[in-house]
Amino acid sequence: MSAAQTRQRILDAARQAFARSGFEATSVRSVASAAGVDQALVHRYFGTKRELFLATLELPVDPARVLAPVLAAPRQHLAEAFLRTLLELWDSDAEPVILAAVRTLTSTPDGPSLVKGFVLDLALSHLRPVVDDPVGSAPTRLALVASQTAGLLVARKVLGIEPLASMPVEQVVALVAPTLQRYMTEPLP
C-alpha cells in the first residue's frame, strides 16, 4: 500500500470515529486500529489527535491561531473581537475552502457530527475558560454562540441573504455582537 493510500485510510477511519464518538472519546489508538495501521504511523502522518481531526475536516485554518486575538480581547469586547475575526476569515482567501468544507460536511452522512465536534470541541473550546462564569455555564453559552454564528455564516455566505450578504463587516459586528456578548458574558435566565 502506498503512503497516499495509507494516509487516506487513516483519514477515512478517523472521520468515522470522530463522527461516531466525538473528539474527546476518540483515541488515536482506536483510529489506528480501525485503519489497520500502527499508532505511530498516525502520529507520523498527522501529529496530534487535534491535527488529525483538523485534517479530517480539510479546513485551511487552525482555530487556535485564529482565536488568539479574540482571547486577548478585554472581556467586555469579547464578542466584537470574536465576530470580527470570524467575518474577516470568511471574507479572506480561505472563504472558498471554508464554504466547500461546510457544504461537503453538511451533505455527507458523518458531516453534521464532524462539524459539531469541530465547532464545540475544537474551535469554541478555546473560549470555554473565558465564558464559564458562573462555572458550568460554558456549554450553554458556547451552544448559543455556535447557533448564532452558524446561522450568520449560512445566511451571509451560503444563502447570500441581502442586505446581510453584502453588509460591511463593521455593520454586521455592530448588529450581531451585542447578542453574542449577552450569550458570552451576561447572566443567563
Is the same domain home to 139 and 101? Answer: yes
Look at residue 154 in the predicted model and tell me its pLDDT. 86
CB within 8 A of 140, min separation 6: which ones?
A: 188
User: What values do phi and psi take at 47, rounded to 5?
Assistant: 80, -120
State the cell numbers at 108. 455527507
Is the same domain home to 154 and 72? Answer: yes
**Domain limits at 13?**
3-57
The two counts, helices (H) then strands (E), for the chain are 11, 0
Q: Last residue of some domain: 38, 57, 76?
A: 57
Look at residue 102 in the predicted model and tell me its pLDDT. 67
Is the same domain home to 26 and 98? Answer: no
Look at residue 27 in the predicted model and tell me its pLDDT. 93
pLDDT-derived band at 38 (thresholds 50, 70, 90) equals: very high
Q: Last residue of some domain: 31, 57, 83?
A: 57
Is the same domain home to 43 and 123? Answer: no
Mean pLDDT along residues 116-143: 84
Is the same domain home to 10 and 32? Answer: yes
Look at residue 54 in the predicted model and tell me its pLDDT. 75
Look at residue 118 in the predicted model and tell me its pLDDT. 62
Tell me how many domains the chain contains: 2
Mean pLDDT along residues 1-30: 85
Is the same domain home to 80 and 143? Answer: yes
Is the same domain home to 148 and 108? Answer: yes
Rounded-to-integer distance, Cα 108 and Cα 97, Å: 16
